[in-house]
Amino acid sequence: MGSEWTVAELCAIRRKAVEEYVRVGDDRESWHLDLGAVAIELDRALTQPGDRASVETRAQRVAAALDTPDREPTPLEQHQGRARAIRHESLMRRMRRDKPELFEEWTRRNKEREEETGALIAAAAAEGPPEVRFQRRLVEALGSPWPDDATPAERVRALAARPLPPDPLRVPAREGATWTVGDWLGWEEFIDGVPCQGCGLAYFNRAMQERADRRHEGRAVEPYDAWRARIRPLELEIERAFNELHPDCGAGHHSYNYGPWHCDRCCPPPPLLENPDIQRALRAAATPDAQLAVAPPKIRRCGTCHQELGDGHVCRLEDLPKRLQAVVLAVAEAQRGGS
């Protein structure tokens, strides 16, 4: 019989089918056909020519091939799992404190979902242990007529060539990054000590910061060269920890106050711009400056009558031209004579 794929390749293709259904999950019937096709091809890869084993025996061989231990999570994945659990606990504390009604509703819905899941598990357990149910499905797949127009090999070939759809919950925030917008912490989470969701490490470390600070004795400050020599081992320690956690990510990193290094590819930056003080400063900087008040022009006033000096101002006889002074004197004399 034989198959064009090895057992390891078929196991990897089956894991891909499961991951594809978890991410998309819109066609259960097609997914079951893909799993059945992989089981048939596994049976062909495991069955030697002339082997007349029963379908039950062949199903046991397929189940044994698929019953391989899952890949051990990497240190980075272990850190990420712990960080997400801490973030959830922080969210629950803040919700209980700030929005108790919403917290009660959320708790009630979680309990309902747990009860529904428990009922489904109990119903499945009534049909036998998981390995018995799996064996039953394999016997059905291997012993029943193939129901699809495409052959099992054609379905497996199409599944292997089909690109895995992106995880809707893990869409990268930008090109070249693996962290998502949802991984970005809010300011309250940051000050609450929630670790980075990309690597699981804290953004700031009080012990590291105290070791890295320049020392002061009275008004004397630790000399720069002595300070650099003292903190160099700390920098090497931080760099070594970074390389162990991100061996394939390159050297791009960011940090906060001599805390752990965070990978530019895996880790979102800390939400420093969400600091309320910085937000107020940014809003103030973005507000157009009020127009400077223009100083009023200086007004020159007459020293005798205090009226504004301007063209044609006359306060004293001496302010008039000579010929007009004679006319004014004549008119004044005539008025006095007539009075």
- Compute the residue count for the chain: 339
pLDDT band at 289 (very low <50, low <70, confident <90, very high): low
**Cβ neighbours of residue 141 under 8 Å, at least 6 residues apart?**
35, 36, 39, 40
How far apart, in Å, are the Cα atoms of 210 and each of 205, 214, 234, 254, 262?
A: 9, 9, 11, 19, 19
Mean pLDDT of the chain: 85
Mean pLDDT of all residues in 134-138: 90
pLDDT at 86: 94
Mean pLDDT of all residues in 319-331: 67
**Cβ neighbours of residue 209 under 8 Å, at least 6 residues apart?**
257, 258, 259
Higher pLDDT, 281 or 197: 197
- Side chain identity at 160, as an amino acid letter? A
pLDDT at 82: 94
Say yes or no to pLDDT of 317 above 70.
no
Say yes or no to pLDDT of 24 above 70.
yes
pLDDT at 149: 87
How far apart, in Å, are the Cα atoms of 166 and each of 21, 24, 26, 94?
A: 12, 9, 14, 32
pLDDT at 273: 85
pLDDT at 37: 93
Taking CA 53 as the corner, what is the angle to CA 48 and CA 54, rounded to the nearest 5 degrees? 140
Q: What is the Cα–Cα distance from 226 to 216, expressed in whole angstroms? A: 13
pLDDT at 84: 93
Number of other CB atoms surrounding residue 233 within 10 Å: 10
pLDDT band at 50 (very low <50, low <70, confident <90, very high): confident
Structural tokens at position 14: 């089956």
% of the chain with per-residue pLDDT over 70:
86
Higher pLDDT, 241 or 282: 241
Mean pLDDT of all residues in 145-154: 89
Q: Tell me the whole-structure pTM to 2 decimals.
A: 0.65
Say yes or no to pLDDT of 13 above 90.
yes
Mean pLDDT of all residues in 176-193: 90
Say yes or no to pLDDT of 146 above 50.
yes
What is the separation, in whole angstroms, between the first and last Cα of the chain?
147
pLDDT at 290: 46
Q: What is the pLDDT of residues 58-99, one digit of tens each?
A: 999 999 998 877 778 889 999 999 999 999 999 999 999 999
Burial of 42 (0-12, 13-18, 19+ CB in 10 A): buried
Nearest of 103, 105, 104, 86 to residue 95 by alpha carbon: 103
Q: What is the pLDDT of residues 243-272, one digit of tens each?
A: 999 999 988 999 887 889 999 999 999 888
Say yes or no to pLDDT of 136 above 50.
yes
pLDDT at 285: 79
Q: What is the Cα–Cα distance from 77 to 198, expressed in whole angstroms? A: 9
Higher pLDDT, 334 or 304: 334
In the chain, where the domains are located: 7-161, 181-286
Nearest of 205, 180, 182 to residue 193 by alpha carbon: 205
Residue at token pair 């302010």? 319
Mean pLDDT of all residues in 24-44: 89
Mean pLDDT of all residues in 311-325: 64
Say yes or no to pLDDT of 36 above 80.
yes
